[in-house]
Amino acid sequence: MKKIALILIIVLIFFIGFIENRSFYTNDGKRYITVWKMYGDTCYIMPYKYYDLLNPTTNYIVTANTGFCDIIWQDEQTNQIIFSCSKIYRINNDRTDLPNIVDYKSNQLYYDNIFTYFDGKYKLYKKELNYITVNILEDYIYLK
């Protein structure tokens, strides 16, 4: 009986590790994001380290496992991140002690004016901007 329980626990741990992938990213060593890819084309992005086994309930973004996302920190004093994603997403903000998530597209003209410049061909982020670009599908990030 103990062998069966041990085998079931090992299979369960392997299954959870196989279908879910959680990564932590930072570019200043102070502020972190968690990217948690789950089974069923669901990805949670949280502006803090998240270790719980259950789905988050506070300050998170839900999007697809196949998109690109940009996470922008305005400055160290502002307790918010600006978020832009290539796929459909949903934002949940319900705690003020955690970083507030703001949708880039909600005021795109304003954010374009303060975060980007035009190099003659493309609209690019300004060099002094603190941001992370996440390729969720490939688990690849670009830090700036």
- What is the per-residue pLDDT across 47-86, written as a single tens digit (0 to 9) for each? 999 988 888 999 999 999 888 999 998 776 678 889 998 8
Looking at residue 39, its pLDDT comes to: 81
Residue 55 domain-assigned (yes or no):
yes
Does some domain include residue 61?
Answer: yes
- Work out the number of other CB atoms within 10 angstroms of the CB of residue 44: 18
* Domain contains 14: no
What's the domain count of the chain?
1
Q: How confident is the model at residue 3 (pLDDT cuts 50, 70, 90)?
A: confident
Q: What are phi and psi of 15, to 5 degrees?
A: -65, -45
Q: Which of 58, 47, 53, 50 is nearest to 19 (CA)?
A: 53
* pTM of the complete model: 0.82
- Rounded percentage of the chain residues whose pLDDT exceeds 90: 34
Confidence of residue 9 (pLDDT cuts 50, 70, 90): confident
Which tokens hold the place of 114?
Answer: 């303060």
Domain boundaries, position 63: 22-143
- 130-135 and 42-46 as β-strands: parallel, antiparallel, unpaired? unpaired
Domain membership of residue 114 (yes or no) is yes
